[in-house]
Chains A and B, each alone.
Chain A
């Protein structure tokens, strides 16, 4: 692991970015890392673009991931992962939900994905929303699915068990079962991720 591990989560308002951020931070705390995160609240987030920053390591000062220094960009929406390119360098891993929330004037998903493949060598594009909808009947846990995928594939240097513990701590009782299912779904050996 690098001295500090830098994650950008990008997506749109309502996709649960703040909860995901909290889960990763809790998991990093379980593994006794220093942590800083940054997020924005308020009107601009109503269905608009959202990005959160998570940094953990031995000692972390700034809550913001610097330009070109993200280790992982976790994109919950295709166009928003493109927007986060800002923070990427040639080694940055893009883990992207194949889900597009289009609006008047936005490019087509095909175009976005093509672009994504040109800017990064190894984008991992996973239809998490579609899988979660199909398998669990709820698209909203696609973030948890992707997070589970990321830790099981060692794209985030945290133990899957720490993430699971963090989920149990943070997610309200009512939704815990669903979230755990999404986590386990992505962890199944041999499961085809779309």
Chain B
């Protein structure tokens, strides 16, 4: 039976068919639906699911569950892997006990990930972690299962890397049988296996490198070669780029050989060498940085030194690919004429995203505008309140990664002494804001921090967080209060204000801006959109 599934839904289906036991996630577009769906279905399937405080903790939770023998899935967006990377490297050294797959969703063209155009494939080199790259929703499901298989066979965590156009792509997906899950395993002590300390850790690295070579042998049997063998032209590609290649070849009515890789790391070197043997020209089609191209250039040196390799000389390194861009590259490879249809620019003015009509942030932004003296610096963080940076608000002078508004605020205060207000959301505060808040107290700086506490992780589709009082599976839990956290961190000036009391908010901003120590205002009012949804549910 086939069902229309979103790439992320297909990933969930793949995990269910593999019999996943333990799932943890921190929401982030374009990976968020994975956690949302597991939150809804975990109980029914006898699976444990949690939204963790951040991606590092999500991965650590899975490390522990894997050490206890459970089959684990962790889902995050690209930047989440940066946060989780500290836990990732030793996990690849110790290896898994219960098979573990990590879903990492990249976002070429930065549709919903503004901090950088990250290519998470680079983590393969840093961590020696196998990476699989599906091309479509069907393959996303298959590769999750393949990932579990590789993980089980070699006791190593495996990354399945998607991009926006796979995560948010829909297609008919073949539905298979769901395997039974279990929620209880057992941690069996094994110091030699679970403790990374020298000198053992260096042996672990040797074992890991050896393991990677064995996985490379396995990878030789994966991937697809299609098209007619030719002694002249060929294309090597993987992931979403493969779809654009096939679309172009269909349009050009060309039938040249295409090698589509499943593994980005470790690469099936023999397979690639065989493929390029005797070719005159090969085109490498990959998004963002030319990692495959560099590898293949090195392989060709031994194997086919005269091979002409086209890659980033005919394809852009910035922004996602599409059929048109790949069409131009294939035309250059084959000497065909191809013109991208000229698109006349109509000069349609940009429509900026806006705060929802009843959003409490309108009140906060307005109070800040009225209360902050000229020249005040405004720090931004990751959440709906990034809209402060767009007209009509224009209240965002710097913006970086999750939780950074406070850390950077401290540096600006120390470095310049200028008046400064930072905005940070409730979920973001728990995710990465707390260590930075402690640092402002510890190292004595005085930014004004406004926590935009809308009682939910709103931007990514309304997931729970530690301040909500409910777990990702909908169970009641301790509600951690942001003002109490701030107090425990040593903050003296704290006020919780419902932002519709705009006058009080304004006066407090004015008052706190003159304090010698750090100040925290918790602007607490539930996300209007979420409040409406909750009402409808009842």
A interface, CB within 8 angstroms of B:
12-13, 21-22, 25-26, 29, 34-49, 59-64, 66-69, 79-80, 82-83, 85-86, 89, 103-107, 115, 119
Contact = CB atoms under 8 A, between A and B. Distances in A.
Interface string B316-346: 0000001110010000000000001111101
A105 B352 CA distance: 11
B29 interface: yes
B30 interface: yes
B346 A48 contact: no
A44 B459 CA distance: 10
Contact of B346 (A44, A45, A115): A115
A103 B354 CA distance: 10
Instruction: Pick the most buried of B4, B164, B250, B384: most chain A CB atoms within 10 A of its CB.
Output: B4
Contacts of B58: none
A29 B165 CA distance: 20
Given A41-B29, A107-B349, A61 B250 contact: yes
B375 interface: no
B341 A67 contact: yes
B215 to A, nearest CB: 29
Contacts of A36: 136, 169-171, 243
A157 to B, nearest CB: 18
B265 interface: no
A42 B324 contact: no
B460 interface: yes
Ranked nearest first, the 7 interchain pairs of A and B with the lowest CB-CB distance are A68-B341, A42-B112, A48-B353, A42-B29, A62-B247, A37-B170, A47-B354
Interface in B237-254: 243-244, 246-247, 250
B235 interface: no
Nearest to B167: A41
Given A39-B168, A40-B112, A86-B343, A46 B29 contact: no
Contacts of B350: 49
Contact of A103 (B32, B111, B171, B351): B351
B243 A63 contact: yes
A35 B172 contact: yes
Contacts of A35: 4, 170-172
B354 A61 contact: no
Contacts of B459: 42-43
A38 B168 contact: yes
A75 to B, nearest CB: 12
B461 interface: yes
Residue from the set A13, A26, A59, A67 with the largest chain B CB neighbour count within 10 Å = A67
The majority secondary structure among interface residues of chain B is loop
Given A29-B4, A62-B247, 4 more contacts: A36-B170, A43-B112, A43-B386, A63-B136
A191 B323 CA distance: 41
A36 B322 CA distance: 14
A44 B323 contact: no
Contact of A47 (B32, B327, B353): B353
B2 interface: yes
A38 B29 CA distance: 14
B355 interface: yes
A46 B244 contact: no
B323 A62 contact: yes
B256 to A, nearest CB: 15
A48 B354 contact: yes
B171 A105 contact: no
Contacts of A119: 344, 346
17 contacts: A13-B353, A35-B172, A38-B168, A38-B169, A41-B33, A43-B112, A43-B386, A43-B459, A44-B111, A44-B112, A46-B387, A47-B353, A48-B353, A63-B169, A79-B351, A104-B391, A106-B351
Nearest to A13: B353
Given A67-B324, A89-B341, A43 B244 contact: no
Interface in B250-287: 250
Interface in B1-46: 2, 4, 29-30, 32-33
A41 B461 contact: yes
Contact of B348 (A83, A89, A104): A83
Interface of B: 2, 4, 29-30, 32-33, 111-112, 136, 164-165, 168-172, 243-244, 246-247, 250, 322-324, 327, 340-344, 346, 348-356, 384, 386-387, 391-392, 459-461
A89 B343 CA distance: 9
Contacts of A67: 324, 340-341, 343
A81 to B, nearest CB: 10
Contact of A62 (B4, B30, B322, B384): B322
B115 to A, nearest CB: 13
A80 B2 CA distance: 33
A66 B324 contact: yes
B341 A46 contact: no
Contacts of B346: 82-83, 85, 115, 119
Contacts of B461: 41
Contacts of B349: 79, 105-107
Contacts of A26: 4
Nearest to B461: A41
Given A34-B172, A44-B112, A83-B348, A66 B322 contact: yes
A62 B244 contact: yes
A23 B317 CA distance: 35
A46 B30 CA distance: 15
A132 to B, nearest CB: 20
Contacts of A106: 349, 351
A92 B61 CA distance: 52
A169 B351 CA distance: 33
A64 B322 contact: yes
A25 B170 contact: yes
Nearest to B320: A64
A119 B348 CA distance: 13
A143 B158 CA distance: 42
A68 B338 CA distance: 14
A43 B391 CA distance: 15
Contacts of A40: 111-112, 164, 168
A61 B341 contact: no
A62 B243 contact: yes
B461 to A, nearest CB: 7
